[in-house]
Each structure stands twice: as structure tokens, then as C-alpha cells.
Chain A
Amino acid sequence: MLTVDDLEIGFSTLHPLAGVDFSVARGEILGLVGESGSGKSMTAMSVMGLLPLIGGRVTRGSIRFEGEELTTLDEARYRRLRGGRIALITQNPMTSLDPMVRVGPQIDQGARLHLGLDARAARIRTVELMARMRIPDAARVYDLHPHQLSGGLRQRIVIAMALAGDPELLIADEPTTALDVIVQAQIVQLLVELVRERDLALMLITHDMGLVAQACDRVAVMYSGRIVESGPVAAIFEDPRHPYTRALIGCIPRPGMAEGTLAGIPGTVPSIADLPSGCRFHPRCPMAVAACRDRVPQTVAVAADHGVACLLAGAASGDAP
């Protein structure tokens, strides 16, 4: 449904994304993971066609949605897609909601704009959608303002807004980060159900490997503007091949782990103004060899649908880094 191929974007001379490849199929949940500064949200902005808004542009590669090239799409046609067939759910519901407008009419907009419903029909549809989001007493909540709702309810409203235009592709950028654990689990459960029942494609952007393990079908691990590893969720967790993927997994505490075994990753994601040569992970990589400094690793397939961009990927797998 969505295929991103060798995507590079530029802000004047800087390139926050340098060759991003991934795809999401209908009915599939793809997790896009990595530390802050790895380019996850930039990827979402690119797919949504919002780069010009922040002064960026696509400098290379393609983004294809149902066969249609998006990188060359004009703004008028992008507007019809955005909020319609492609919808975005952001981390902080308060940035997506207008504090002055009742929540119901905010959801109506999508159906009126993209499905051409009249006010009455849109309202009926909105209340149904809200009920599907398990918002109790939806008809009453329709008339409330965002500040009258809890964080969990607001995020449900934002999801309802995203669904209002009947999207085929949903991009969720850290949709549960600001929420409490139980509410987080409720929202994730809801998103998974929606993907299954509506046969949506969901691109789930997160830094939480636990969320990835619980919700995603496939995973793309991002580091410093590149996808370093991608594959089915089971392969990524059971047989991670890229040292960065292994390091990320090693950062999560698990039951029964002994003191001193939480590895962490020394250093930080490089600034886009000062990128290392070769493999961008090499300064932090415990396995780096001289060649990693000179050569940009190409993505190689290590198994069916499991790709790794690491010069050492052919080396024995499963070893602790």
C-alpha cells in the first residue's frame, strides 16, 4: 500500500533522511522505532507531505501510495489525501484538537470534507465512531470541549478524527507516550482492533520496544536517517542482526535480569550537522571494525523479508554484541 524507496530529504544543505526504504501492506502494522533524533517523525512528515511547511523537501527517492507517486503530487491533490485516505495521529492530543471547538464537530469535519456528508449525517456518523472508540455516553461527549475530557478520552477523540475521513493508511506518531500504562494498553488494543476490522495499514512510530513487541507485525529500526534493520517482529526480537537493534533490545529491563546487565548505548544519535562517515552507528557500535568508518553498508537480505544494513551482518547471529 505504501512503499518508501531510497527517500532523502533536505533542509538547505542538511539531510535528516538519507535513503529510507520500507513498505506497509494493507492490514499490517509496521513499527518504526529508534531513539529521538533518528528521523522517525521526519519520515511521517514526508509521507504526509508536510515537509514544505517546515522548510524541507524531498531531494531523492520516492513515496508511493497505492501506486501513486506522492513526492511530485501538487498541494491541492495532497490536501484531498491528507485527512482522507491518509491520516495522522499525533502524540499530544491537545495539538490536534482546537480548544475552542466542541469535540464532536471537530470529528465531523473529516466526514464532511472527505466523504461529502451533510451536517446531520456527519453527526450521526461521528457519534457512531465515538461509540466505536469506546467513549462512554458518546452523544453527550459530542458537545463537550477538549479541556473537559481526560487524556485518554482526548486521544480517543483524535483517533476518531483520523478515522472520520475513512483512511486506508494511518500514521500514528507516539500515540500513547503521554498516557498512563493502563490507558496506553487500552488505546493500543483499540488501534490493533481497528486495523484488523477495517483492513487498514498502520505505521506506528515509537521509541518503545515493548509497544512494538506487543502490537506490530513488522518492524523497521531507524538510526540517524536510515533504516538499519527491518523484518517480521518475531525475527527482530529473536534474531536481531544489526548491533543497534540488539543494543536497543538490551536497554529494556526484563523480569529476572541481574543488576548490572542493563546495557544502554554509550553516546548519542549524531547531529545531522555533524554526521560520521561510513556506517553512522560506528562510533557507538561495540563491534565496529575499520571498514565501518569508510563504507556505507547496503541493506542485505539475511532471511525472507528480513533486511540488515551492516557490514558485519553476515557474521554469526544471536551472539551478544
Chain B
Amino acid sequence: MTPILSVENLGHTFPGPAGWFGARKRFRAVGEVDFELHPGEILGVVGESGCGKSTLARLIMRLYEPTDGTIRFEGTDITHLSRRALQPLRRRFQMVFQDPYSSIDPRQTIAEALTEPFEVQGVGLSAAARRAEIERLLALVALDPAMAGSHPHHLSGGQKQRVGIARALALGPRLIAFDEPTASLDVSVQAQVVELLLRLRRELDLTYLFISHDLALVDYLCDRVMVMYLGRVVEILPRGAPPRHPYTQALLAAAFAPDPKVRRHIVRITGEIPSGYDVPTGCAFAARCPLVEDTCRAIRPALVGDGHHAVACHLAPPIASES
């Protein structure tokens, strides 16, 4: 099966502020990211803030210009396609952002917000077709058709996020990248949005890249999970597989289990994620790792695995031993 998305050695470095003697420090946001996304799959991307997960999604969506590597979408190399060449392809990959309040123009009605993608793409719609599209999109995300004439401030956070999703669906995409789409919603609303995303994937045969810091949510929603630390992938694992990287293990241990019987108060990881200005030569996690050895500080571990489960750690037992 051809992957819908294949990313090779993808990297992005932001120019930092100019130094005193003209030397510009560079901020390495993402580096050496390799993965494939298959049709119908949901790949979760997790990590702490500053780990590069949002930058990664924006690179793939071509909102930032990659400084290294290749992005292939349905076999086409889109890494450096011009705006014009990219325009028709954009119908097929869309992004939904975290903040439903800032992603819709407050002066637009919901109907206008939903038909804007057609205008951007130069798709002419007759008045009847326009009405039908609005109705179809609202129905897809289970919103009341009567909402078409409302403005965003009349909607709840969950309803606004549904409008954001409907808008991403307007042009019939194959791939949608979600950047923390439920982070600003109440759990009661989050649960509904997550179920909506699962239903839409089934009904419309969609593929998702789902960025989140919520491990429990990612574990529920995603088929595979990619864990990032300081701009690099430290582990890619299938749902439910036991984590092998000490960082993934720490993330999992730190997630609050909703069960008072499994209390885990021991956090072995100290400190916080270092800055992308000073990427260490060895393993980026070495400074916080409870298992660290000399090799870890000297040599950066490569991501090795078998296509299902891969890990970048000198100390992780070989994947082959997993059965």
C-alpha cells in the first residue's frame, strides 16, 4: 500500500536573533524526522511543549518551509512546491488548529466560514449548491442546520471546533492534521469531538495526524504514536505496546491515571526540556534520563526498529526480542 504521506529526514531550523558580533544562533525546531502514514491510519504525535510537534505538522502542511528533507504526499514530492503548484493539492490535506476562537473570523457567519474554502480554491458554487454544501457540512459534524446564519460568538467552544472541522472537510481532503484540537475544551466536550473524529474517519475514509500532549487521549484515538523530544523522534510505537524509551516511559508514568487505586507518585525525571538553541551532541534526553550512561552523552542514538515499533535509545533492548 502506498503511504499517503512519507516524510524523510525532515528538519527545520529557525534563524535566531542576531548575536552581538553578527553570529546568528540558530534554533533547531525539528530534525531528522522519518515516518510514513498509511491511508486510514491515525498517527498521534506527543511530547512536551517545545518538542517540535506543532512545527512538524506545520511543515507537513507546508505552512513553514522545510530546511531539510523531503515530504511526499500521495507520492508527489511537495517539499518545495511553489504556492501556485501547491494550491490544487491543498484540497487534499487540511489542518485543524487548537483554538476554535481564533480560527474563525468573528465577523463571518458560519455559512460564510464554511464556504470560504471553495472561494479560496476558485470553486464556483450556485446558490443552491452552496446551500446544499453548508447543509452537508453541518450535518457531517452533527451541528444544527439552523446555525448557518449565526456568528461564532453565539457558539460554544465545542460547536466552534466542529465548525473548524467542517471547514477542513469542505474540499474532501484525504489527510487532516489536528494540532491539539481539544486542548481548550472541557472533557465532556472533548469526548464528543473525539468520537466525531473517529466516526468521520470511518465514514469518509480519512487519515489523521493528531498532535496532542494528552497520552490517554492519544492512546484511545490513535493507531500509532510518535513521541518527540527536542525536535527528534525518540520512539514510534503501536497503540498499547509497552514503551521502550525512558522518555516515553516517563511520560506514561507522569500521566494521571483516572483511578485512585493506581497511584504513581514517584516522578524520576527532573528538570525541563532544554532549549532548541543548545541541542546536545549525544542523546537529547541524556540530561534528564534516569538511566543515562557515558555513551548517551557522546553519541546520538539512531531510531531503529521494524516499521511497527522503533526506538532511539542506546539502552533500549533490541526490538527483535519483542513478541
Is B198 an interface residue, CB under 8 A from the partner? yes
Question: In the complex the two chains form, is A249's CB within 8 Å of B258's CB?
Answer: yes
Chain B residues closer than 8 Å to A260, beta-carbon distance = 195, 198
Does A237 contact B259, Cβ atoms closer than 8 Å? yes
Determine whether B251 belongs to the interface, using a CB cutoff of 8 Å to chain A: yes
Q: CB < 8 Å: which of B49, B187, B221, B263 contacts A248?
A: B187
Check B256–A214 contact: CB distance below 8 A. Answer: yes
Interface pick from A51-59, A106-114, A185-193? A185-193
Given contacts A150-B272, A214-B264, contact A237 B191 (CB under 8 A): no
Docked complex Cα distance between A265 and B265 (Å): 30
Q: Are A180 and B49 in contact (CB under 8 A)?
A: yes
**Shortest Cβ distance from B252 into A: residue:** A181
Per-position binary interface string of chain A over residues 220-239, scored 1 when its CB falls under 8 Å from any chain B CB and 0 otherwise: 00000000000001100100
Given contacts A237-B260, A252-B216, contact A181 B48 (CB under 8 A): yes
In the A-B complex, the 5 residue pairs with the smallest Cβ-Cβ separation, listed nearest first, are A210-B256, A253-B220, A264-B191, A264-B192, A265-B188
Contacts of A35 in B (CB 8 A): 186-188
Residues of B within 8 Å of A210, CB to CB, are 216, 255-258
With beta carbons under 8 angstroms apart, the residue of A36, A192, A234 that contacts B260 is A234
Determine whether the beta carbon of B191 is less than 8 Å from that of A186: no
What residues on A are CB-neighbors of B158 within 8 Å? Answer: 268
| Residues of B contacting A82 in the complex (Cβ-Cβ under 8 angstroms) | none
Q: How far, in angstroms, from A249 to B257 measured CA to CA in the complex?
A: 11
Contact between A214 and B260, CB atoms less than 8 A apart: yes
B187 lies within 8 A of A181 (CB): no
The reply to whether the CB of B303 lies closer than 8 angstroms to some CB of chain A is: no
Question: Cβ of B48: which chain A residues have Cβ within 8 Å of it?
Answer: 180-183
Is B267's CB under 8 angstroms from A185's CB?
yes
Known: A182-B48, A207-B186, A249-B258. A266 touches B192 (CB 8 A): yes
How many CB-defined contacts (below 8 Å) exist between A and B?
125
Say yes or no for A256: interface residue by CB 8 A criterion: yes
- Measured between beta carbons, the chain B residues less than 8 angstroms from A255 are 216, 219, 240
Q: Does B4 contact A (CB under 8 A)?
A: no
Residues 134 to 168 of chain A near chain B (Cβ within 8 Å): 134, 136, 150-153
We find that the number of chain B residues with CB closer than 8 angstroms to chain A is 43
Across-interface contacts of B272 in A (CB, < 8 A): 150-153, 180, 182-183
Collect the chain A residues with CB atoms within 8 Å of residue B259's CB: 213, 237, 254
| Chain A to chain B contacts (Cβ below 8 Å), 7 pairs | A180-B273, A182-B251, A189-B265, A211-B256, A213-B263, A254-B257, A264-B192
Q: How distant is the Cα of A184 from the Cα of B266 in the complex, in angstroms?
A: 12
Give the Cβ gap from A97 to chain B, nearest Cβ, in Å: 17
**B310 / chain A contacts, CB cutoff of 8 Å:** none
Residues of B within 8 Å of A259, CB to CB, are 198
Chain A residue contacts of B251, Cβ below 8 A: 181-182
B245 vs chain A, min Cβ distance (A): 14
As a 0/1 sequence over residues 196 to 222 of chain B, the CB contacts with chain A under 8 angstroms (1 = contact) are: 001000000000000001011101110
B230 to chain A, nearest CB (A): 13
Kindly state whether residue A201 has any CB partner on chain B within 8 Å: no
Q: Quick check: is B67 within 8 A (CB to CB) of the other chain?
A: no
In the complex, the chain A residue whose C-beta lies closest to that of B217 is A253
Kindly list chain A residues whose C-beta atoms are within 8 Å of the C-beta of B216: 210, 252-255
Least CB distance from A254 to B in Å reads 6
Q: Which residue of A lies closest to B216 (CB)?
A: A253
How distant is A223 from chain B, measured CB to nearest CB, in Å? Answer: 11
Complex Cα–Cα for A266 and B264 (A)? 32
Q: B254 to A251, Cβ gap below 8 A? A: no
Report whether A182 and B250 are in contact in the complex, using a CB–CB cutoff of 8 Å. yes
For B192, list chain A residues within 8 Å (CB). 264-266
Q: Does A128 contact B (CB under 8 A)?
A: no
Residue A119, interface by CB 8 Å: no
Tell me, yes or no, whether A171 is within 8 Å of chain B by CB. no
Q: Does A124 contact B (CB under 8 A)?
A: no
B254 cross-chain contacts in A, Cβ below 8 A: 181-182, 184-185
Nearest CB to that of A244 among chain B residues? B188
Residues B168-199 near A (CB distance < 8 A): 186-192, 194-195, 198
Q: How far is the CA of A263 from the CA of B258 in the complex (A)?
A: 15
Residues in B whose Cβ lies below 8 Å from that of A252: 187, 216, 258
Q: How far is the CA of A165 from the CA of B118 in the complex (A)?
A: 60
